[in-house]
Amino acid sequence: MKDQFDREITYLRISVTDLCNLRCKYCMPDGVCQKRHEDILSFEEIAEIASAAAQLGVRKVRITGGEPLVRRGCVDLCRMIAQIPGIEEIDLTTNGTLLDRYAKDLKAAGVTRVNISIDSLDPAKYRAITGGGELSAALAGIRAAQEAGLIPLKLNTVLIGGFNDDEIPAFVKLTRTEPVELRFIELMPMGGHFGPEAYLPGDTVLERVPALEPVPHNGGVARLYRLPDGKGRVGLISPLSRHFCASCNRLRLTSEGHLKPCLHSDREIYVRGKHGEELLETLRQAIYAKPRMHGVLDAEHPSGAGRTMNTIGG
Ligand code: SAM
Ligand code: SF4
């Protein structure tokens, strides 16, 4: 279905939990998250909503969170969604630290591929930004995803000035030998305690690694580049310096059942408890409520999302 600005909405991002086994400084800045089991959608409720979305033209689903793999039975949910007629692709965004355990089962359940978040290649810095995470666990998850065939693998790195910009060349170098898409994401002002210097434009990557050459655009949100001899690619996702609202094709579902027409707006439409035609109508309303674009985002203008990222599903 098209929204009122002629954008075809084909992509549903589903947050299955607000909980996480890490505490990234930009995502869960205050480190707390409490929610009762009965407050979050059951797998049956999620599958019913995804199925209705598929009837309206959604073809791709992403399972996210919080950390989706901390929700018990996440693999079963993926299997349920993969079986919905019309859903052609199901992806998962994860911090990777539990993938060692689940990668093969996710592949068998019908998951197409995964995005893994990794903000530093230095164990001490990784521990600092994630509030205690182990880099070795994330790296084991990356290996497990590759071995299970959850490919092409995408790695997400939030670019944080003064924290990991010195690692840009090392991250890019990974794409020389690994067939991965390493995506630098501009830090979004969503409640984290960062000074203006932390908000680096994606183009910083091109300044630091001039050898990167552009690759034809594939319609996604990332601008793509590669090293001349690289097996992988480098993506720049720039929600602040070059927003991609004109091609936004997505709708978000929070773990308690709110549809979010736009990541950076506090407009939410409660969908829990709706069935049949009423459910379809609620989804249509949410698609129709998508704004043409979000407001300015920078250090002085925080996101209007009204929630931290772990409660939305990044
Ligand atoms: N736990 C999973 C993970 O870390 O990949 C999935 C959920 S996480 C909220 C999804 C993505 O959002 C991650 O790649 C994370 O780095 C990104 N993210 C969270 N807060 C962000 C922020 N303030 N700015 C930019 N990216 C952010
Ligand atoms: Fe957890 Fe992902 Fe948020 Fe980090 S970015 S706190 S891993 S949900």
pLDDT, residue 288, reads 93
| Cα distance between residue 286 and residue 279, in whole Å | 11
pLDDT, residue 220, reads 83
In residues, how long is the chain? Answer: 314
To test the ligand 1 pocket, which listed residue (156, 254, 303) has its Cβ within 8 A of the most ligand atoms? Answer: 156
Q: Residue 135: which pLDDT band, with cuts at 50, 70 and 90?
A: very high
| pLDDT 10s digits, 154-187 | 999 999 999 999 999 999 999 999 999 999 999 9
For residue 116, what is the DSSP state? E
Give the ligand 2 atom nearest the CA of 21: 1
Task: Kindly state the average pLDDT of the residues 46-75.
Answer: 97
Lowest mean pLDDT among 32-41, 71-80, 130-139, 264-273: 32-41
Task: Kindly state the average pLDDT of the residues 190-211.
Answer: 93
Identify which of 295, 205, 184, 263 has the alpha carbon closest to the alpha carbon of residue 11: 263
Both tokens of 254, joined, read 């929070």
Between the CA of 120 and the centroid of ligand 1 the distance, in Å, is 14
Q: Is 82 within 8 Å of 110 (Cβ atoms)?
A: yes
Give the ligand 2 atom nearest the CA of 97: 7
CA–CA distances in Å: residue 7 to residues 81, 285, 291:
24, 14, 11
Across the beta sheet with 223-226, what order do the strands follow? Answer: 213-214, 223-226, 233-237, 181-186, 154-159, 113-117, 89-94, 60-64, 11-15, 250-253, 258-260, 269-270
Bridge partners, residue 90, by sequence = 61
Whole-number percent of the chain with pLDDT over 70: 98
Q: Residue 191: which pLDDT band, with cuts at 50, 70 and 90?
A: confident
Count CB atoms within 10 A of the CB of residue 206: 17
Cβ(158) – ligand 2 distance below 6 Å: no
Q: Which ligand is nearest to the CA of 187?
A: 1
Q: Is 264 within 8 Å of 304 (Cβ atoms)?
A: yes
Task: Kindly state the average pLDDT of the residues 79-95.
Answer: 98
Q: Is 188 within 8 Å of 310 (Cβ atoms)?
A: no
Q: Which ligand is nearest to the CA of 116?
A: 1
pLDDT, residue 175, reads 97
Task: Kindly state the average pLDDT of the residues 55-74.
Answer: 97
* pLDDT for residue 304 is more than 80: no
Identify which of 104, 120, 106 has the alpha carbon closest to the alpha carbon of residue 71: 106
Cβ(115) – ligand 2 distance below 6 Å: no
Q: Which ligand is nearest to the CA of 24?
A: 2
H or E, element range at 48: helix 43-55
Identify which of 304, 278, 290 has the alpha carbon closest to the alpha carbon of residue 252: 290
Cβ(94) – ligand 1 distance below 6 Å: yes
| pLDDT 10s digits, 249-288 | 999 999 999 999 988 788 899 999 999 999 999 999 999 9
To test the ligand 1 pocket, which listed residue (26, 263, 309, 312) has its Cβ within 8 A of the most ligand atoms? Answer: 309
Name the pTM for this structure.
Answer: 0.95
| pLDDT 10s digits, 285-299 | 999 998 888 877 777
Between the CA of 73 and the centroid of ligand 2 the distance, in Å, is 19
To test the ligand 2 pocket, which listed residue (119, 310, 312) has its Cβ within 8 A of the most ligand atoms? Answer: 310
Cβ(23) – ligand 2 distance below 6 Å: yes
Give the ligand 1 atom nearest the CA of 116: 5
Of 294 and 26, more confident: 26
Both tokens of 19, joined, read 């909980």
Report the chain's mean pLDDT, rounded to a whole number: 93
CA 91 distance to own-chain centroid = 10
Cβ(274) – ligand 2 distance below 6 Å: no
Identify which of 58, 46, 56 has the alpha carbon closest to the alpha carbon of residue 88: 58
Both tokens of 281, joined, read 């109508």
Cβ(28) – ligand 2 distance below 6 Å: yes
* pLDDT for residue 242 is more than 90: no
* pLDDT for residue 33 is more than 70: no
Q: Which residue has the tokens 């549809």?
A: 259
Both tokens of 247, joined, read 């091609």
Count CB atoms within 10 A of the CB of residue 217: 9
Q: Which ligand is nearest to the CA of 67?
A: 1
Can you spell out the DSSP letters for 213-237?
Answer: EE----SSSSEEEE-TT-SSEEEEE
CA–CA distances in Å: residue 269 to residues 108, 112, 285, 290:
33, 29, 8, 11
Q: Which residue has the tokens 């209705």?
A: 52
